[in-house]
Each structure stands twice: as C-alpha cells, then as structure tokens.
C-alpha cells in the first residue's frame, strides 16, 4: 500500500506529461518528442520564479504554465506548421531536433549542473495514516495534477474550444466547412499541452527536489510509453497510462531494484506494441503509425 501511495504521486506527473503527447497526436498525428524538454523549461521557469522573484510555489506553477504555453505555440508555428503537409517522418525528425535544441540552449545558458529547490519552497511534513506515511509533498503533487486533469476534462467536454478540438481531431476538412479555424485550434492544443507539461516540470522539481537541463529526456519517454499504453490520442487513456507507469516504477524500485525501473518501463512499451498496439483504450483501425 505504501508503494501504491508513492506511485500515485509519480503517476500523476507522468499522466500530466502524457496528456500533452496524446492531445497533439490526436489533433495532427504528430509525436512531439520535444514535449519532455518543454517540461524541463517549465521546471526552470518555476525554479527561477521561486529563487529570483521570491514568489510562492503556486505563483511559480502558474508562471511556468503561462511561459510554456507561449513556448509551445511558438514551436508549433516555427517548427511544425511548415511541415503539416509533409511526411510523418519529417515532422518526427523535426521534433527530435527541437528537443535537442531546447536541451542544449538550456545547457549553454544555465550549465548542465543540477539546481536544488530551496528548502523553504516547500516545507516537508509527514502524516501517518493507517500505517502509511503520506507527505504533504505527495498530497500537493497528486492534488495539483488531479485538479489540472479535471480542468482539462471540463475544457474538452464543456467548452466551444474543446468541441473544436474534438472536431478537428475527427475530421479537419469537415471542421473547416463548419467554420472552425484549424490553425487556431492546433495552437490552443499546443498551448494547453505545453502548460500541463510545465506544471509537471515544477511538480517533478518539488518531488525530486532537483532539476537540470537534461531532466526531460527519461520522464518524457516514460510519459510517451504511458500515452501509448493508454491509447495515444485518447485523453482518459493517457491519464490511466500515467498512473499505471508511476505505480509500476515504484513497485519495481521497492521490490526489485531501482536499476531496472527504466528497463521495465520500455519493456512495457514493447509488450503493448506486440499485444495491443492501439493501447488499453484504443480500437484497432488498421492505420499504421
């Protein structure tokens, strides 16, 4: 039970990152491998908001989300929009290039050294409940992620913007005929997905207490595995996949060895592609990704 509690916090972070992957893929069929590095930029914005501006963690979280929303839109306009009619492999290679660009720009300006969130950023307290140790850090990470997921579900299901996103995902040509701006909808999708990634970056900084310019690589790939596990392009699937990955990782670390947790994560990717490529919530359409 203690490992499950630990896994819920980590899984919530993976779910937030996976949502960005699945939203972008659902709209334009692009696997945005720069998404993990947008998360990293968000972590740095949150860190500098706390250390240089002296704001509290809630303001830092909002600042990181706002900055990365703009960054996501800029990346879409500059790097992905010109390739919208190109082959998928061209867009995929571009996404990898954007990922490397973000990583090494951050290394150049901020060095590859790790930075530690100040102790006063989040005062740690442990609560003993029914034999379990639950920290306020776990509660904050899990609660923040759940609130953001609920807001996302409201946007997708209850707003005009969400309806436009669903329409573009189903049929872009029909959406245009109905008066929907596809370009605007895609930009909004990147903005929302990038904001969620930024929030995940700040939460990772709180959870592990350290950040660095290359921190987005492994969590980004694991979140991609979570998106594929749930069914890429399916929002509830990304949420479930994230929690499954988080709990699986903590179980492997707790009962096996932390050395194997990354190997197990990518082993899950291989298994799901062999057994059910469409994911847990997906339906086989015969389309080859």
Which pLDDT tens digit goes with each residue over 219-257?
999 999 999 999 988 999 999 999 999 999 999 988 877
Buried/exposed 11-44: b ≥16 CB within 10 Å, e otherwise: bbbbbbbbbbbbbbbbbbebbbbbbbbbbbbbbb
pLDDT digits (tens, 9 = 90+) for 160-199: 999 999 999 999 999 999 999 999 999 999 999 999 999 9
Angle at 34 between CA 32 and CA 40, to 5 degrees: 135
User: Quick one: pLDDT at residue 10?
Assistant: 92
Pairing mode, if any, of strands 115-116 and 210-211?
antiparallel
Q: Which of 14, 7, 215 is nearest to 99 (CA)?
A: 215
What the block records as the tokens of 6 is 């630990």
- Distance between alpha carbon 86 and the CA centroid of its chain, in Å? 25
For residue 126, the SS3 value is strand
CB 40 within 8 A of CB 216: yes
CA 21 to CA 228: how far, in whole Å? Answer: 9
Strand segments (E) across 142-284:
210-211
CB 154 within 8 A of CB 22: no
pTM: 0.92
What the block records as the tokens of 88 is 């998928």
Backbone phi and psi for residue 132, each to the nearest 5 degrees, phi listed first:
-100, 150
C-alpha distance from residue 189 to each of 40, 107, 194, 211, 249 (Å): 19, 28, 8, 26, 29
CB 170 within 8 A of CB 26: no
- Distance between alpha carbon 196 and the CA centroid of its chain, in Å? 6
For residue 127, the SS3 value is strand
pLDDT digits (tens, 9 = 90+) for 260-289: 888 888 898 899 889 988 888 876 544 444
User: Quick one: pLDDT at residue 284?
Assistant: 57
CA 237 to CA 22: how far, in whole Å? Answer: 9
Judged against a pLDDT cut of 80, whether residue 50 lies above it is answered with yes
pLDDT digits (tens, 9 = 90+) for 68-113: 999 999 999 999 999 988 888 999 999 999 999 999 999 999 999 9
End-to-end CA distance of the chain: 38
User: Quick one: pLDDT at residue 2?
Assistant: 85
DSSP 8-state secondary structure symbol assigned to residue 130: T
User: Quick one: pLDDT at residue 288?
Assistant: 42
What the block records as the tokens of 223 is 């979140």
Instruction: State the average pLDDT over residues 30-42.
Output: 95
């Amino acid at each position: 039970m203690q490992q499950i509690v630990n896994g819920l916090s980590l899984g919530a972070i993976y779910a937030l990152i996976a949502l960005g992957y699945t939203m972008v893929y659902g709209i334009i069929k692009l696997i945005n491998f720069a998404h993990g590095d947008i998360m990293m930029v968000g972590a740095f914005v949150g860190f500098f908001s706390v250390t240089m501006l002296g704001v509290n963690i809630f303001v830092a979280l909002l600042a990181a989300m706002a900055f990365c929303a703009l960054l996501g839109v800029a990346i879409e306009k500059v790097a992905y929009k010109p390739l919208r009619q190109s082959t998928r492999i061209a867009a995929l290679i571009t996404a990898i290039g954007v990922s490397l660009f973000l990583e090494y720009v951050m290394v150049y300006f901020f060095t590859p050294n790790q930075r530690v969130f100040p102790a006063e950023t989040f005062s740690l307290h442990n609560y003993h409940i029914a034999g379990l140790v639950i920290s306020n850090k776990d509660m904050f990470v899990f609660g923040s992620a759940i609130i953001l997921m609920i807001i996302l579900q409201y946007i997708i299901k209850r707003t005009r913007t969400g309806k436009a996103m669903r329409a573009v995902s189903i049929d872009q040509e029909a959406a245009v005929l109905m008066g929907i701006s596809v370009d605007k909808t895609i930009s909004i999708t990147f903005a929302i997905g990038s904001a969620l990634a930024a929030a995940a970056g700040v939460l990772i900084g709180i959870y592990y207490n350290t950040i660095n310019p290359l921190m987005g690589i492994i969590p980004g790939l694991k979140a991609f595995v979570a998106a594929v596990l749930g069914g890429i392009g399916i929002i509830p699937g990304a949420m479930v996949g994230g929690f499954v990955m988080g709990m699986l990782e903590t179980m492997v670390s707790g009962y096996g060895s932390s050395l194997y947790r990354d190997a197990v994560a990518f082993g899950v990717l291989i298994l799901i592609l062999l057994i059910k490529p469409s994911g847990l919530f997906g339906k086989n359409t015969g389309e080859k990704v």
